[in-house]
Structure 1
Amino acid sequence: MEHGPDMIRLLPWTGSEGKPCYVIGDGTGYVSRMADDIESIQLDMADDLLGHADSLLADRKGTGAEVHFLASRLTESLREVKRVAESRGARLGAAAELDPDRNRP
């Protein structure tokens, strides 16, 4: 991953009252590295949760409480994965703006 001028990055966690948190930097600092690690964990957990969902739904013996619990965890996970996608998409857009030749064939 290339690093360049300082950019604003949406972090994979929220602050008080659920407000978004950001870091400004070139992507090499401690907070950016911690955010990378947390994003990786969130994506791995989403993958594990999908496997669990496949199993529970294929079994067709899950109780309403189990399906409700699964839906709650899937909702949390989807929210986290969406935040990761937004953060990464914004950084890709910012990088493309800084390097117009990057998008040329």
Structure 2
Amino acid sequence: MTQDELRLLPWSGPGGRPCYLSTDDRDGYVSRLADHIEALQLGAATQLREEALEILEDRGIDDEEDMALLAARLAGALGDVLRVANSRGHLLAKLAPS
């Protein structure tokens, strides 16, 4: 990564605005922290997906409030996963030989 390229970080700034990192050190503290947070987000999304499938297939949800909560949690997890995919896709494109 060159100095003028930005990495989308896995958290938002004030007002939900995206945060970016400008560095050429992929092993720096903030880069490693971002990698760790991304791994946590992907793990949480995987676990939530499994829980949602179990609820929807086995038990079902009778209460609209519970369904709305599940949908909100899934939407949040999807947002995290999309941010990770966008960030990693950008990094992969920059690392690929031209």
Structures share a fold, TM > 0.5? Answer: yes
In structure 2, what is the equivalent of residue 34 of structure 1?
33
**Deviation at residue 60 of structure 1 after TM alignment:** 4.5
* Ranges of 4+ aligned residues in structure 1 off by more than 4 Å: none
Q: How many residues align?
A: 95
Matches within 5 A, 1:1-105: 5-6=2-3, 7-26=5-24, 27-62=26-61, 63-96=63-96, 99-100=97-98
Unpaired segments of 5 or more residues in structure 2? Answer: none
Structure with the greater relative contact order (CA < 8 A, sep ≥ 6): 1 or 2? 2
Larger-Rg structure: 1
Q: Give TM-score, length-normalised by structure 2.
A: 0.89
Root-mean-square deviation (CA, aligned residues, Å) is: 1.3
Q: Give TM-score, length-normalised by structure 1.
A: 0.83
Q: Look up the SS of the partner of 1:28 in the other structure.
A: coil
57-66 or 35-44, which moves further after superposition? 57-66
